[in-house]
Structure 1
Amino acid sequence: MTDQTDLWQLEESFWLGGAETFRSTMADGAVMVFPYPAGILQGDGIADSVARAPRWRSVLMSERRINLRGNVAVLAYKAEAEREGAPIQTMLCASTYVREEGGWRLMSHQQTPA
């Protein structure tokens, strides 16, 4: 596997996985910015919020961009995601990862409705 492949797979796992995915692969103090009502979340509050929210059942990531510099990677893309019983939502997203002992960790993520 390449770093790019690993990063895109990890990014997809955040969409489709549960709270344990967040707890096991986020950097300490990670920050996320979600559309209202979730808003700005940090650290353990992220996994707690995910545990209470309905999970996505599918996500299509297109217009993918990546900037990889040493131990930091930024991913940007358009996401079309679907939850059970809800219409598909389209968002522009950006995630920043840092490579630490044990692999890549999510440091920040933002979703902007498109």
Structure 2
Amino acid sequence: MDDDRVWHFEESLWTGDAEHYRALIDEACLMVLPTPPYVLGGDEAVAAVADTPRWSAVTFAQQRIARPEEGLIVVAYQIEAVRDDERYTAHCTSTYRRRNHEDWQVVQHQQTPPLTR
């Protein structure tokens, strides 16, 4: 998957509907999110995010992509997401694995909002 497609894929996870999201998350996915219970896996990870309102627009910064081996992509970035009057900023990572040609799924995702002092 080329870099442009990687970022389009990641953006779709923030803005796509629940069915789109469910299709892209592997059943063995592990997530760390900034709300309880924080550490989620499998169906609970999918449900936690699929059942929240989707973001209308996202902006990426500090984007990095690593391809440690064939069929594995790791991304890290800062996100600013917007919906209505709500804004959300976090540093994130996601890991994708290729199941078949052009069939990628998320196996790991993490979000760390900035510390408030």
Does the alignment reach a TM-score above 0.5?
yes
Counterpart in 1 of 2:109?
109
Unaligned runs of at least 5 residues, structure 1: none
What is the CA distance between 1:47 and its match in structure 2?
A: 2.7
Q: Which residue of 1 aligns with 2:49?
A: 50
The runs of at least 4 aligned residues of structure 1 exceeding 3 Å deviation read none
TM-score normalised by structure 2 residue count: 0.85
Equivalent positions of 1:14-53 (< 5 A) are: 14-37=13-36, 39-53=38-52
TM-score (norm 1): 0.87
Contact kept, 8 Å, 1:97 with 1:105, in 2: the verdict is yes
% identity of equivalent residues: 38
- C-alpha displacement at 1:53, in angstroms? 1.5
Kept in 1, the 8 Å contact 2:25–2:46? The answer is: no
Counterparts in 2 of 1:38 and 1:19: CA distance versus 1, 3 Å: farther
Question: What is the Cα deviation at residue 73 of structure 1?
Answer: 0.7
Task: Say if 1:23 and 1:52 are closer, same or farther in 2 by CA, change over 3 A.
Answer: closer
Q: Which runs of 5+ in 2 are unaligned?
A: none
8 Å Cα contact 1:20/1:47 also seen in 2: no
**Which deviates more, 93-102 or 43-52?**
43-52
Amino acid at match of 2:25: M
RMSD in angstroms over aligned alpha carbons? Answer: 1.6
* Structure 1 residues 75-94: Cα deviation after superposition (integer angstroms, max 9, x where no partner): 000101112232x2211000
